[in-house]
Structures are given as C-alpha cells and as structure tokens.
Homo-oligomer: A and B are copies of this chain.
Amino acid sequence: MSGSLARSDRDDVARARTDGALETLVGYNLKRAYMLFQTDFRETMGDDGLTPRSFSALSLVVERPGITQSDVSRCLGIERSGLVAMIDDLERRGHLRRVPVPGDRRVQALQATPDGCAAYDRMLAEVRAHEARVLATLDADERETLVTLLRKLRTARKDQGE
C-alpha cells in the first residue's frame, strides 16, 4: 500500500537527473523548443507586433505578390477562416491591400504596400536576430542541420500516401 513517503525520499526524487523517457521523445523536445521560440518571438515583436502566424502570412504576401488568402492558408497549413482577421489586421496596419482580380470576382489578390515591404524587411531582420539569440548555443552547422531535418520531416510528408 505504501501510503506516504518520507521527506528525504522526496528530496532524492527532486534531485534526480532529467533523463527519463520524455527526454528521448522527439515530440516533447520539439514542443519545448517551439515554446522557447514562441516566447522570444513575441517579446521581440512587442505587445502590438505581429504574431508568428501573421508574420508568416505577410512574408508570403511580400514574396509572392498577388497570392490569395486561400493560397496562403494552404501554404501555411491553416484554415481559410482564420486568415480573415489576420489579413484585416495587416491591412489596417497598412502592410498590404486586397486587390480585385479581373478574371475571377470571387478572389482578392493580396498585394504588399511599399510601406509593408519596408516594414517586413525590418521585421525579418529582427526575427533573424531573435533566432540567432535563441539558437546561440548551436553553431552554424548545427543550425543548418536542424532546419534541414525539420524541413525534411515536413516536406517528405506531403508525398506520402497517408
């Protein structure tokens, strides 16, 4: 039954090294690393800055002028409905505009404004600095390996049957 534990036993437990099954699981370590990035990203961008998600959307719009919301949602793997408020916000900030497309009146192409492009360039620099900060403990090779492995994980997935 062992209903209770002595104080010293608990202290031993607390001192145990962190080497359980959890540490061997990729998912767990992935989540912890992701949380690190998330937190620092938000601190970097400030209270009324872009979120990781809206930054990624803006990035897509800047780099692929004329992309539609549906395209963005597919590229980022998120729901179309979630994009509306985000694009509203980016438009309100003056970073982009919704532009009608002659050939298809259902669609509105997304076009970054000059100000939006400039703001994006500044933010991208900040984001790279933020990543350098969080990745400080890895050398250049390790960083590249990490990105490569993460991308491999994802891109290869699309091709599979599943």
How many residues of chain A get a CB closer than 8 Å to chain B's CBs?
Answer: 78
Q: Indicate if the CB atoms of A153 and B101 lie closer than 8 Å.
A: no
Q: If the complex has contacts A13-B66, A103-B6, A154-B33, are A131 and B27 also in contact, measured as CB distance less than 8 A?
A: yes
Query: Which residues on B sit within 8 Å (CB–CB) of A52?
Result: 27-28, 31
> Nearest-CB distance from A136 to chain B (Å)?
8
Q: What B residues does A10 contact at CB under 8 A?
A: 66-68, 101, 107, 109
Interface flag for A18 (CB, 8 Å): yes
A138 touches B109 (CB 8 A): no
- For the complex, give the distance between the alpha carbons of A124 and B146 in Å: 25
User: Is A80 among interface residues, defined by CB-CB distance under 8 A?
Assistant: no
Number of copies: 2
Q: Mark A1-35, 1 if CB is under 8 A from B, else 0.
A: 01111110110011010101111111111111111
**Bound CA–CA A32/B33 (angstroms):** 12
Given A147-B24, A153-B135, are A64 and B16 also a contact pair (CB < 8 Å)? yes
Contact residues, A92-139 vs B (CB, 8 A) = 99-104, 107, 109, 111, 124, 127-128, 130-131, 134-138
Contact across chains for A154 and B29 when beta carbons are under 8 A apart: yes
Given contact pairs A13-B66, A66-B5, A156-B137, A37 touches B32 in the complex (Cβ within 8 A): no
